[in-house]
Structure formats: structure tokens, C-alpha cells
């Protein structure tokens, strides 16, 4: 497996509590997650706590681009939300996602970091660059959507 790290940050003109509320509840991800805005048919299931630590979410799609997997909020505080992300299909991959919320002049600086290992142990340098670039685009798109919601 090939290790990766991607991070994007954005200053949002919103209180950290309003932002964390959207991060802490998988049902609210439907409004802003870049992976929920693919237009593909997805079967979703929610387990555990309704929000915060212990909340779990699984998905399954017959579309190979989405495959199947799960996310779990492993820790949630005023300053950060940490998740474990598992992809089962089309390739197995394990990732950790951290959302860090820090007071900023305009409101809150949100940093979205994703680290893990891809399901492809023989990924070329060009393949790795495409993989990382795609994740960066996804994170930027998610930050765009979050910004549109919280800065109303």
C-alpha cells in the first residue's frame, strides 16, 4: 500500500460551533460532502451515536467509483473532529480524517486533513500524483460547499 497525506484549509466567516455541527453528524454530510454530490446511487446506513464520537456511517454503491466503505467519528471536541475511513471496494484503503477548527480573524480556520494508505501497493509516481490531486480537488469542493452553507 502507498501512504498519502492531503490537507486543505479555509477561513470561514462562521462560529466553530456551527461548522462542527455539520462535521459531527453524518446525516448532515449530505449537504456538503464532495462524495455525496456525485449524482451516483448510494445505499447509506447510520449506526451508533446520532452525532459526535461513536457515530458511524456505511455506504454501498454499484458504481465502481464509489464502491463501499464506512466512516466512524472516533473523537470530537470543540477544536477537532477525527474520523476513521475504510474503503472496502473497489480497493481496500484505510484513512484517517481530521477536521481542525481554530479561531481566525474572520471567524474560524478549518483545516481538513486526510492521511492513509491507498489500496494499490504498486502505484506509479504519476498514479500517486493523480490520486493526491483528486483528493485535493475533493477537499476543496467540500470546503466550498461548507462555506456556502455556514456563510449565509
CATH number of the domain where residue 90 is located: 3.30.530.20
Q: 31-58: buried (b, 16+ CB within 10 Å) or exposed (e) per residue? A: ebbbbbeeeeeeeeeeeeeebbeebbbb
Element (H, E) at 151: none
Sheet holding 3-12: strands in order across?
A: 3-12, 107-117, 93-104, 80-89, 68-76, 55-60, 43-48
**Which range marks the domain in which residue 62 is found?**
3-150
Alpha helices in 2-64 (DSSP H): 16-23
Q: Helix, strand, or coil here: 48?
A: strand
For residues 97-103, give the mean pLDDT: 96
DSSP 96-122: EEEEEEEEETTEEEEEEEEEEE-S-TT
What is the count of structural domains for the chain? Answer: 1
Query: What is the C-alpha radius of gyration for the chain, rounded to an integer number of angstroms?
Result: 15
Give the pTM.
0.89
pLDDT at site 41: 63
Handedness of CA 31, 33, 34, 40 (dihedral sign): negative
Q: Which residues contact 122 (CB under 8 A, 6 or more apart)?
A: none
For 5-53, what is each residue's pLDDT tens digit?
Answer: 889 999 999 999 999 999 999 999 989 988 776 666 678 899 999 999 9
CB 100 within 8 A of CB 115: no
Amino acid at each position: 500500500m502507498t501512504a498519502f497525506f492531503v490537507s486543505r484549509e479555509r477561513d470561514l466567516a462562521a462560529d466553530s460551533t456551527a461548522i462542527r455541527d455539520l462535521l459531527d453528524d453524518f446525516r448532515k454530510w449530505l449537504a456538503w460532502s464532495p462524495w455525496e454530490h456525485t449524482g451516483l446511487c448510494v445505499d447509506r446506513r447510520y449506526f451508533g451515536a446520532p452525532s459526535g464520537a461513536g457515530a458511524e456511517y456505511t455506504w454501498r454503491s454499484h458504481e465502481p467509483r464509489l464502491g463501499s466503505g464506512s466512516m466512524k467519528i472516533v473523537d470530537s471536541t470543540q477544536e477537532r473532529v477525527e474520523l476513521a475511513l475504510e474503503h472496502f471496494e473497489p480497493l481496500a484503503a484505510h484513512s484517517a480524517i481530521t477536521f481542525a477548527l481554530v479561531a481566525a480573524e474572520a471567524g474560524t480556520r478549518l483545516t481538513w486533513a486526510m492521511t492513509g494508505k491507498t489500496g494499490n501497493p504498486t502505484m506509479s509516481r504519476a498514479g500517486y500524483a493523480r490520486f493526491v490531486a483528486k483528493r485535493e480537488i475533493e477537499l476543496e469542493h467540500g470546503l466550498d460547499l461548507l462555506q456556502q452553507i455556514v456563510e449565509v
